Each structure stands twice: as C-alpha cells, then as structure tokens.
Structure 1
Amino acid sequence: MVQRPWLDQYPPEIPRTLDYKDVPVQNYLMMTAKEFPSKTAIHFMGKELTYRQVYESARKLAGYLQSLGIKKGDRAAVMLPNTPASVISYFGILMAGGVVVQTNPLYTERELEYQMKDSGAKVIITLDILFPRVAKVKAQTNLEHVIVTAIKDYLPFPKNLIYPFIQRKQSGIIVNIEHEGSNHLLPEILKLPMGTLTEYEFNVKDDLALLQYTGGTTGFPKGVMLTHHNLVANTSMCEAWLYKCKRGEETILGILPFFHVYGMTTVLVLSVMQGQKMVLLPKFDVKTTLKTIQKQRPSLFPGAPTIYIGLLNHPDLGKYNLSSIEACISGSAPLPLEVQQKFEEVTGGKLVEGYGLTESSPVTHSNFLWDQKRVPGSIGVPYPDTDAAIFSLQNGEPLPPGEVGEVGVKGPQVMKGYWNRPEETAEVLREGWLFTGDLGYMDEEGYFYIVDRKKDMIIAGGFNIYPREIEEVLYEHPAVQEVVAAGVPDPYRGETVKAYIVCKEGMSVSEEELNEFARRHLAAYKAPRIYEFRAELPKTAVGKILRRALIEEEKARLRDEESKHA
C-alpha cells in the first residue's frame, strides 16, 4: 500500500485526481481552433499563424497522407526543428490515424537508418537540407515517401527570400526537390483544397499516438510506446499544476525541441490544449533567445539547466528585460540551486525543478511554482494521479522515508511498453510500476530527491559516490559555468572521480583551487581526483550533458595508451 504524504502538501487549487477527456490528442487542435479560430497559435521569426490556419493545414496534410496510403496505426516520422511545419506535421499525422515517430534532425545516417527500420515508418517529413541524408538511407528502410519543407516556407517577406542564401552559406548544401514521384513538397500539399478525411474510432488507452525513442545512452535507442491517453493525461496534469495560467492568454517559449518528449508535452501539446501562443525557436542561441523574450514577452518558459545557465552567463544579460517570465519548470537534468536563485532574481518569476522520463510522457514530479513549500535539491512531489515509491535494490521491497533505493512511478502517463521489445518492457514495467533506473529517496513530507542514475553511480574503493552531489558543490564555485562528474577506471580504487569543467567567460580557476574548494564541502573520498577543463561539454539536443560519452571517451583513451605500451 503506497503512503501518499505529498498530498498533504497540495494547495487547494490542484486537484488530487483529475478527469481526463476520452479523446485522441488531435481532437484538442480541432476544439481549440473552434474556440480560438483567430488567436495566434504560432509565432515563428516574425511570421504568425492562427489556430484556424494550423488546423486547416494539419487537416490538408492528413488527407494527403491518407491518399499516400497511411492508415490507422501506420508510423510516420517527423524530422524537423521547432517550426510551424513541425506542429502541422505532428497533428496532421495523428489526424490521418498515424503514429508519430519523432526523429532528431541531428541524427547521422546510421542512427536515422536504425530508427526508420525499427519503427517501420512509411513516410518521413523533413527539411530540405536534411533530404540528402534521408535519400541515402531510404532504400534500406520501409520509407515509401518523403515530404520536404524548408525554413523559408514560414518566414515573412523579405526574410523568406534572403534566408536561402544564408542557409547555403552556412551549410554549403543546395537542394532542389521536385514535387513528383515519392518526393513531395509540403507547400504544394497545403495549396490543395480541403479533401475528405477517413475518420477512425480510437481506443485512447490502447492506440498509440507516439513512438518516442530513448536517448540510447545504454545500447540501442528503444521506441517508447505512448498512447493518446498517456499524452492527454500527462498534459492535463501539467495544466493542473499551472493553475494560475489563464486559458488562451499565455505565451509559451518553445526552445525545447518537439522531437524530445519534454518539449512535445510541455510546449506543443500543452499550448494546443490551453489555446496558448507558442513562440518557436528552431535552435537555442543565447542572444536570439534574449531578444525573443524581450520582444515576445513569454510568461511560460520550460527549459533545461544548460539553457538557463547559458542565458545567465551572457555578458549582455543586463540589457534585456526578462520580467514577463512567470513560471519555468526545469527538466532533463539536475537544476543547480545557484542557477535557480539567480534566474528568479533576474526575471522575478519562478523556476523550479521537475522530474520525468520518456517512459512517463514525461513528467511525474515537480516542485510547486506558487505559494507552497519548495525544497532546494528536491524534484518535488508526484503529480495528481501519480504514485511514487522507493524500492530496495536488494529485495525490491518499498523503503521507508530517508532510505535510498530505486525510484518507481505509477500513473496514467506511464508508457504501454517498448516497441517490439517485450523482454526489456518486462524489466522496467512490473505490476504497473515503472522502475526508472534512478536512485533516490523520499522525505517524511513526501518530497522526492534524486541522488543519481543507477548506472551513473561511482563505486570508488568500496564507497558509493553520487555524481550529482559533487556537481552541486562545484557549481557553487564562482568560476564554474558547467560541470559533470564521472567515474573513470582506476587500477587501485576500481573507479575514481573525474570532474569536467567549463569556466565562465573571462574567468579561470586552477585545479588546485578547485580541489581545495571541493574538499572543504565534500568528504575526501568523494572529492574529484582528476580535473579536466574544456571549452564545452557534449550534450543532447535538449541540453542534457552526456556523462556516458565522456566515460566512453576516457575508456578509449586508456585502451589507446595500453596498446602503445603493449
């Protein structure tokens, strides 16, 4: 029996349980277009589209996809940055009855081929400059059709005329694609009159809306099967959490990529569900973001710690007015306390840490944004209708408050399973519980804390060391902008702690100074034994630092050294 002490922390405005509409995700676009037909749905680099325009475009695309043979349950991939086309494609596929396969535009040919083969996608919608990559792998996959769009398609005059020259200069890629055969141009599709659409019945708890691939930091990426009910439930939970937000009146900054589940739920689907305006940026650039915040005045800004850190460390930060920002939930990585405090000082808004994973659509926990107790270092409390517990690594039994074990979650946002991977599904889904692979504990009041990924825990000389604790300490040093701690091979201790550091612009710190600082705040066995200074750290598209990539790099370096001495 799960004890739920967190429910005592809930304010009266947040219900403990919610009523979820029994409708597929795409119906929200139709409902919002009826309610707010003339309201701006998307702002993109000076161009604006209303909800009616987005709905009509998505419906035209849906009809075209059906004419290409897409039926209910067929997979169709979207390989786009955040643009109006990415919104239209997402909802167009769902309206056609298809399952969206979100695909990272940064994928190499090998990664793209793997995902297309694994998902069995029949159609891919992509950018003109990515077309050559798709064309090279198409014959090895089930892809039958490629639909192409371009950034310029949604730019206002004269930007739409100038942009192709800028793009050509930056990428060196010139692509001319004709609207014929198995290649199709999205602008040509959207010129067609509205056709008839085959309307399918949906079992929202069983029918898939999305195949969302995990990052693949441990082996090959897995397709997470998310149903319409999973997405509607999790977005409804986000809506309940943001109880001060007014329907149809907020502006949400869309920097988090939609091909990442966090951006998809907290910006794309939430905006459509609430009738909010999305301000889309195709990539994170600090100066562009600061200018956009000042000009577009967003009130909501979901992000990742590296995004907030980038903004706070820009030398021109003081020249921009960021006071429109009222609420930000940070996800994908631990939020350093110093970053939270400084960001709230600069904006006057609230920045809190939340928690989730692809397998839970993604959000399961968050700190409260307004009025209630916020606990530094905590991921907050479970969302409505979400159970969470800490399970023993020894016997799998639930643990009492204060004890560290594996975090398990249960709720309507938890995935159906992994695509075509029953054994791996059975490993993480047990009796309705999703075992997250994260180590954490719960306090007496129901606030949860993540100490680290089970796979990231460092075992040095028999001691369990959590990288997050080390990173929190080093983030407090005034010269440190970014840090990641990792366990690297050590002949004596088995593993030892190495810290990778990016210094703030114009600042520096020596290894000796950092070592002294770390040892003042950490037990000697936890303090890093090795420091490496870098200009930047490897990251995912959503800004999560890739600790595993650094560990693999270290192992490869050691292998090279051993082979030289052999």
Structure 2
Amino acid sequence: MESKTWHQFYPKGVPCQIDCSNLSSKALFNQCVNRSPDRVYLVQENLSLTYGKVNWMARKLAGALIKLGYQKGNRIAVVSSNNPQFVVAVQACFKLGAVIVPVNPRYTQRELGYIFSDSGADTVFVIDKALDSVKALMESGMTSIRNVIVINNEDLTQINYQNDNILNFDDAVNMGDDIEPDLSIAPEDLALLQYTGGTTGLPKGCMHTNLSIEVMARIACAWFSPALTNGYFITLCALPLYHSFGFNTNILLNLIAGGTIILLEKPKSAIILKAIQHFQPNFFQAVPAMLFDLLQHPDIKTTDMTCLKALVSAGSSLPLKVKQTFEKVTGCEVFELYGLTEASVSGTPFKGKYKQGSVGVPFPGTEVKIVDLKSGSKELKPGEEGELIVKGIQLMSGYWNNPEETKLVLREGWLYTGDIATQDTEGYIRVIDRKKDMVISSGFNVYCREIEEVLYNHERIKEVCTIGIPDDKRGEAIKVFIVLKEKENINEREIIDYCRNNLVSYKIPQEVEFIDIIPKTMVGKPDRKRLKNMQCMNSII
C-alpha cells in the first residue's frame, strides 16, 4: 500500500501497514498465556482469573464440547451479559476452530429464534435469565440446538437439570480433559459471526475469519498503545461483549496486548465510577450516551479518574462539549472511532490533529474512497459528498448464507458502507448521513423495518413508519408514526408495551405519533424524509 497523506498524523510507533503473523486466534491467546501465565486476565467484582487459569478452563471446556459432539466449523452461540464465563467460552471456541455467534441476552424468543435458525448454531451458552427462551426453542425443534450450557450468573452453585442436553457451565468444564485440542486452524477459517442489520431489516451474520480477527486486534493495539507510556492495558469493559465494539476493544485487543479486562455486567454510571476508583483501569470504551450519564452523576466530582490514559467513543457522534468536559475531568484524551460490524475503519490519532465533527483518519492498512451515490464507481474529489467505501484485510468475508446482500456491499474487494461522507485533503473523514434506513441509538443499530414488521402484526394498526430523532443522551431516539384501522383506538402506552413484549429494550420507540396518512414517495414507499422534516418543523415550533 502506497504512502497516504493521512499517515503524517499517525502517532510515533503506529505503523502505516499491519504485519500479520497468520496465526489463529487460538495461537494468539496461547502466546499471551505463555508470556504471562500469572497475569490477571479477567476481573469481575471480587473474582480474578489469570491467563493460566482461563487457559485451563478453556481447554477443559473445549474438551467437553468435543464429548458433546462438536465438529470443526460448528456454530456456537454465546447468549450472555458480561462475565468471565463469556470470555472462557470464546477462548474455548477459538481452541476448537468453532464459529462464535455472540447474541444479546435481552432478545425476545422471536429474535433469538431467528439468529439460531439463520446461523445453524447447535450449541448455546446462555445466561440463566434467558434460559427459558432458549430451552423453549430447543424443545420446539425449529432450530438446530442440541446442547445448552447455562451460565448461572445469579447463583454460582451448581444446578441439576432434568434435561440431559442442558448442562451447568461448571459441570461442562469439569467433564472436559485438560488437553489442548489437536485441531488444525487456518487463517482463512471462519471464526466469528457478528450479527447486524441491513436493507432487508433482518439481522445478517458478518463473517470474520481468523485473519480478519488478527488484523482488527493488531489495529486496535497499535492505535491505542501510544496512550500508554508504560505498563500494559487494563481495560474497563462496560460495553456489552456481544456487541462488536465491546468484543473488539476488549477480547480482540487483548489477543495481542495480553492485558487485563475488568468486566462490568451493567453500564450504570455509579458502577462504572466505582470500578474506576477501585480497579484503576487505563483504557475505557463507551458510547456517547454513557459519557453523557457519567458527567451528570454526582460522584464524578469525587472520583479520581487520572488513572485513565485513553478513552474511546464510538457508536454515534460525540458532542464537542461532552468530549472537552470529559478530557478536563480525566486528563486523558478521548479517541473517536468509526467502524461497522463489517470492518474497523478510522479513528482520531492520539495527540494528533483534531477536527470537530470528524471521525479521524483511516486505520493502518486501510484504504478509503468517497464515490458517487448513483453508480458507486466514480471517485469524488476531497470535500465532495458521496458513499464511503473501504478496503482492508480486516473486512468481513461476506454475510452468512446471504450472497445477494454480500454482492450489494462487497464489490471488487471494496466494502460499500452505505454511509454518506466526505474526506478532506488531509484524509480526515466526516460522516454526514446514512443511506440505510437505520437508527443508531446508544451505539446500537436499530433497523426501522424490523420495528415496523412487529407493529404490522398488531391487529389495530393499518400503517406504520419509523424514523430516528435527535436525542442528547442516545444520539438518536426512535419514533413511530402510526395510522390506525378505521374505528380502532389505542394509546401510546399500549403501543410501547406491545413493542416491549416483542423487541429488545433499545429498539422500543421513545415516541409514538398517530396520524391520518403516512406520506409516500412517487413509487409508493413511506417517505421517511418528509416525516423527518415534519418532526423537525414541530420541534422548532
């Protein structure tokens, strides 16, 4: 890759290209274990586990999965909040060459069923709170689930289950042998299915290989390391590990860095501030809504946050005032990142030039173009608005079992992000809007069509259209416009309660407006732009 104008802004020590070892994720973790077996790897409240201990648990768990019938390439879902068992399960999967499918434990049974059916997962690690839904799906015969391993997060005592296919996590570890699985794992082997949404509104599995995982891990380690003048990474993980942002900046980062991960189950401000005070992390990742809440919490004035050397914000635009206030309180620089589940793309360089509203410059080994919206083939001049496309080894290899959607976004090695952006003469990227019908709320991708499909199942609703509206805390909130069937009546609270029974919490609308007609485009599609303009005018009035 030729030298790029933005390389001049890279901090000292950050390479322009990423050198790959072509090692599997299993081998990268084993290197960390061999280097520092007694270093603490995972911390949650009063529990600490070293690299050596986690490696022992992961080996035994991998052995148990083999005894349960595991075959190389099988998909294994992890339906859990942040806890050590999540990470142990991931490392066990890496050792087996299994394909990890992280899943939000707050999903409804309908949402879980779709992910399980689409991925073909046959084994599920599940937190106890979500067990009933997973058990019902297994017994329904509508998925491929054969084995369920329960992460008993509320009570660590062993539980006896009547169903032979449901095991307690500790029992599963105990049934395995302490032997490194003798399985050949190639760089191009699939290792991770991270689900995201798309133009169809249904989640799609982004396929990441061992090679793309290594590159994402090396990019993260190289980009953030300049902030640490000495010592190793101690990451505060308040973001959910089932989300690509939390997964990449904690589990993947430390495949290379070999640092410590402090796990928080809930991203509440009081819990985060207490953890900062007690555990003294030097690296913290957050979405803007979390930073907004932290700055409003009274304990921030008495919490010593000088231990933090780098703070990463992504998921939605970070208001300048929030950035400046947090840097003043902590004394550490706030990085802003831009990426998708499909690929890591760009970030603001440490101690480098900062441009308000920009998501920084492309990461090492990453090529970026802005192309015309009509054909997607004409590269535009600096400053011109077009679609952002990306090329790099960290890109996903495609969408699982979805060649049609893959062809839409992967063309001649370039990922078409669907985001409208500009790039200036120095390489700085500014994301302006999204082509996709998508709302980013508190860092989560929320797809309008999924919400609409749920609401169209309501017997009193005739038409519905969803938009995102500005929200100081979440970045964007969800609003639905509804046309009721003739002579039907329902109120806003009933709509929200209906959504709550069918959607995870961050997909639930914050506002509901009943209207007589949904405006349409010339081809008869709901006109979201007109609805957004209506919303904008109403907010001004």
TM-score band, normalised by shorter chain = 0.7 to 0.9
Question: Secondary structure in 1 aligned to 2:283?
Answer: coil
Report how far residue 67 of structure 1 moved: 1.1
Pair 503,14 (structure 1): closer, same or farther in 2 beyond 3 Å: closer
| TM-score between the two structures when normalised by the length of structure 2 | 0.80
In the alignment, is residue 395 of structure 1 matched against residue 372 of structure 2? no
Report how far residue 392 of structure 1 moved: 0.6
Alignment of 1:12-411 (within 5 A): 12-138=12-138, 139-152=141-154, 177-178=160-161, 181-192=164-175, 194-204=177-187, 206-215=188-197, 219-244=201-226, 245=228, 249-360=232-343, 363-370=344-351, 372-396=352-376, 397-411=378-392
Per the alignment, residue 479 of structure 1 pairs with none
Deviations 1:270-313 (A, max 9, x none): 12321111100011111011111111111000111111111011
In the alignment, is residue 438 of structure 1 matched against residue 419 of structure 2? yes
Q: What is the rounded CA distance, in whole Å, between the counterparts of 2:198 and 2:225 in structure 1?
A: 35
Q: What is the rounded CA distance, in whole Å, between the counterparts of 1:426 and 1:550 in structure 2?
A: 35
Per the alignment, residue 430 of structure 2 pairs with 449
Per the alignment, residue 525 of structure 1 pairs with none
After TM superposition, the structure 1 stretch with the greater mean CA deviation from structure 2, 12-21 or 439-448, is 12-21
| TM-score between the two structures when normalised by the length of structure 1 | 0.77
Pair 91,9 (structure 1): closer, same or farther in 2 beyond 3 Å: same
Pair 130,248 (structure 1): closer, same or farther in 2 beyond 3 Å: farther
Verify the 8 A CA contact 1:353 1:379 in the aligned structure 2.
yes
Per the alignment, residue 483 of structure 2 pairs with none
Pair 439,100 (structure 1): closer, same or farther in 2 beyond 3 Å: same
Question: Secondary structure in 2 aligned to 1:435?
Answer: strand
**Identity level (%):** 35
Pair 501,427 (structure 1): closer, same or farther in 2 beyond 3 Å: closer
Pair 500,443 (structure 1): closer, same or farther in 2 beyond 3 Å: closer
Per the alignment, residue 488 of structure 2 pairs with none
Pair 287,496 (structure 1): closer, same or farther in 2 beyond 3 Å: closer
Verify the 8 A CA contact 1:179 1:185 in the aligned structure 2.
no
Q: What is the rounded CA distance, in whole Å, between the counterparts of 2:192 and 2:319 in structure 1?
A: 32
Number of equivalenced pairs: 468
Pair 503,11 (structure 1): closer, same or farther in 2 beyond 3 Å: closer
Q: What is the rounded CA distance, in whole Å, between the counterparts of 1:193 and 1:122 in structure 2?
A: 18
Counterpart amino acid of residue 89 in structure 2:
S
Counterpart amino acid of residue 347 in structure 1:
T
Question: Secondary structure in 1 aligned to 2:30?
Answer: helix
Report how far residue 136 of structure 1 moved: 1.1
Report how far residue 26 of structure 1 moved: 1.8
Deviations 1:360-416 (A, max 9, x none): 1xx21000122x211121000001100011011133211010000000000000010
Verify the 8 A CA contact 1:252 1:271 in the aligned structure 2.
no
Report how far residue 192 of structure 1 moved: 4.0
Report how far residue 497 of structure 1 moved: 9.9
Counterpart amino acid of residue 147 in structure 1:
I
Report how far residue 193 of structure 1 moved: 6.0
Q: What is the rounded CA distance, in whole Å, between the counterparts of 1:191 and 1:84 in structure 2?
A: 16
Report how far residue 250 of structure 1 moved: 2.5
Report how far residue 86 of structure 1 moved: 0.4
In the alignment, is residue 558 of structure 1 matched against residue 515 of structure 2? yes
Structure 1 residue runs of 5 or longer lacking an equivalent are 154-159, 162-174, 458-466, 472-483, 487-494, 505-537
Verify the 8 A CA contact 1:73 1:98 in the aligned structure 2.
yes
Pair 402,328 (structure 1): closer, same or farther in 2 beyond 3 Å: same
Question: Secondary structure in 2 aligned to 1:243?
Answer: helix
Structure 2 residue runs of 5 or longer lacking an equivalent are 449-464, 475-498, 520-541
Report how far residue 95 of structure 1 moved: 1.1
Q: What is the rounded CA distance, in whole Å, between the counterparts of 1:503 and 1:303 in structure 2?
A: 13
Q: What is the rounded CA distance, in whole Å, between the counterparts of 1:272 and 1:211 in structure 2?
A: 18
Q: What is the rounded CA distance, in whole Å, between the counterparts of 1:229 and 1:561 in structure 2?
A: 47
Question: Secondary structure in 1 aligned to 2:345?
Answer: strand
Counterpart amino acid of residue 236 in structure 1:
R
